[in-house]
Structure 1
Amino acid sequence: MTLEILYEDSQYIAINKPAGLLVHRSPIDKYETEFAVQKLRDQISQHVHPVHRLDKPTSGVLLFAKDKTSLRLIRSLFDSTSTLPGDKAIYKTYIAVVRGYSPEDLEIDHPVKVRSDGADDSSSNNGDEAKPAKTSLHQIGKVEIPHCIETYPTSRYSLVELKPVTGRRHQLRYHMKHIRHPIIGDAKYGRGRHNRYFREHFDSDRLLLAATGLEFVHPTTEEWVKINAGIGDTFTSVLYTLGLHKAYETYLKEVRQHAPR
């Protein structure tokens, strides 16, 4: 598998990480043998250092630095503790399919706990420190299908844009669970019946969450860098099946014409 390169300069390189690929070796998946770091290193014959992370089941824009000096320069952007969008020098955009009719626009302000080992986990307990976490949600489209999956005779879903203001681990997945609109395909925070329905009827066994945009001020050139990624074939197929593809296409046209939300 050749990784899709979305952006490259002398200091940084970004790929479109496939869903199911780990960024680097992890004790959580100790039997996994393929990692984005090694695959990209072998592909370009150069060592790379991940600037940030994406969960294994999440696809999309993943940025690497080509040397440790460049890594230190850009890490300050990603490590910002500010919870104010105007204070950020970096913007991330995600697309997700969630259960139910989501709010049209919502600022989710709910803390995420951080374990003593430094890993964020909203489900952890016993002395964990809660850290501020904010996410902006915008509904792109919604649909109701004539199938009873849980209590009601029909089932509702929304296509949403998510913009994390902070960068806690599992933040988007946990925030969507918190507002009772879990992401489809989320084995940890989602609803099993809906996940199974999408797997059996839509041939989708992935988390329907994709990092589609990354924008930042280049730490060396001070130019504004904008990197975009597609959502992948399976995700696209689901949107067509649900009838949400036109709403997504309209959204893409609007994004290309306007500055970050």
Structure 2
Amino acid sequence: MSDLDVVYDDAYLIAIDKPSGLLVHRSWLAREATEFALQRVRDQIGQRVYPVHRLDRPTSGILLFAKDADTARLLTSAFAERQVQKGYHAVVRGYLGDGQLDYPLREELDKIADKYAEQDKAAQPAITDYQCLAQIELPFAVSKKHATTRYSLMHLQPKTGRKHQLRRHMSHLRHPIIGDTNHGDGRHNRFFRDHFGCQRLLLAATSLEFQHPHTQQAVQLELPVPEELMRAFQPTA
């Protein structure tokens, strides 16, 4: 098994580039899974690590761990208090411009895992800034209504941290993220699988900015946009 790519590493923190499909930690909701980012990072550096935030299983990108419980507590608090700036790239259906969506979201509950959770909890504030980086119109009739199909490469910045916020917000705007099997469009998901060989959710955590909990210095982490997200926007020979 190859090592995970390290984005940042010091005496207190380590950040890796989590592949799409890798769980952050063991979950009985995905009992078939045998690999987890938490255990792989622990084995890779030879010491215990503590997760301070999460990425959905199909989302790739920057995943930050603390190397001790005190640092984990400080960083978890920073995430909770919205002191961490997160940036993502995504491919969405259609042409979407720039803007901000302020649309509260009800908590998504799992029928089994959240059996005893409050079922009618009020919707919580959820805000996402979005910026269009590129657009493409392709000569394929993915839907019967149009002879061509359009896509946008987006930069997304969630200002809150609700479950599946980016996926749900893009769906609410009627520009779902490609590869989203829960909130997306199956026709376009299949088109990307068949035409571009994309087998994943086209959403990646590409930047993370925060104040180091011990040195108080600004930490800015950044990854390039994954190749899978760029395939539709690359010129053909």
Is the shorter-chain TM-score for this pair beyond 0.5, marking a shared fold?
Answer: yes
Amino acid at match of 1:78: F
Aligned partner of 2:229 in structure 1 is: 235
Higher share of residues assigned helix: 1
Aligned length: 230
Is 1:206 equivalent to 2:192 in the alignment?
A: no
Deviation at 1:236, TM superposition (A): 3.7
For 1:241 and 1:18, the matched residues in 2 are separated by 26
Q: Give the letter aligned to residue 169 of structure 1.
A: K
Unaligned stretches of 5+ residues in structure 2:
none
Contact 1:60 1:230 in 2 (8 A): no
CA RMSD of aligned residues (A): 2.0
Match of 2:169 among 166, 169, 175: 175
Percent of residue pairs identical:
49
Report how far residue 115 of structure 1 moved.
5.5
Question: The residue matched to 2:151 in structure 1 has which SS?
Answer: strand
3-state DSSP of counterpart to 1:34: coil
With the length of structure 2 as denominator, give the TM-score of the two structures: 0.92
1:26 CA displacement = 1.3
What pairs with 1:1-261 in structure 2 (closer than 5 Å)? Answer: 1-80=2-81, 88-103=82-97, 105-114=98-107, 126-150=119-143, 151-240=145-234
Change (3 A) 1:143 1:116: closer
- The question of whether the paired residues in 2 share the 8 Å contact of 1:77 and 1:89 is answered with yes
Q: Following the alignment from structure 1 to structure 2, what is the Cα–Cα distance between the partners of residues 18 and 59?
A: 5
Distance 2:222 2:47 in 1: 23
Amino acid at match of 1:40: V
Change beyond 3 A, Cα 1:242–1:163:
farther
Once the two structures are superposed, residues 107-126 of structure 1 have per-residue CA deviations (whole angstroms, 9 ceiling, x without a partner) of 11111212678xxx9xx995
Instruction: Report how far residue 238 of structure 1 moved.
Output: 4.0
Moved over 4 A (4+): none
Q: Counterpart of 1:130 in 2: which secondary structure?
A: coil
Check 1:116–1:182 CA distance in 2 against 1; reply closer, same or farther (3 A cut): closer
Normalised by the size of structure 1, how large is the TM-score?
0.83
User: Which residue type is aligned with residue 182 of structure 1?
Assistant: P
Deviations 1:185-243 (A, max 9, x none): 11111100000000001011111101000000112111000011233343343442689
* Structure 2 residue matching 1:113: 3-state secondary structure: coil
Shift of 1:43: 0.5
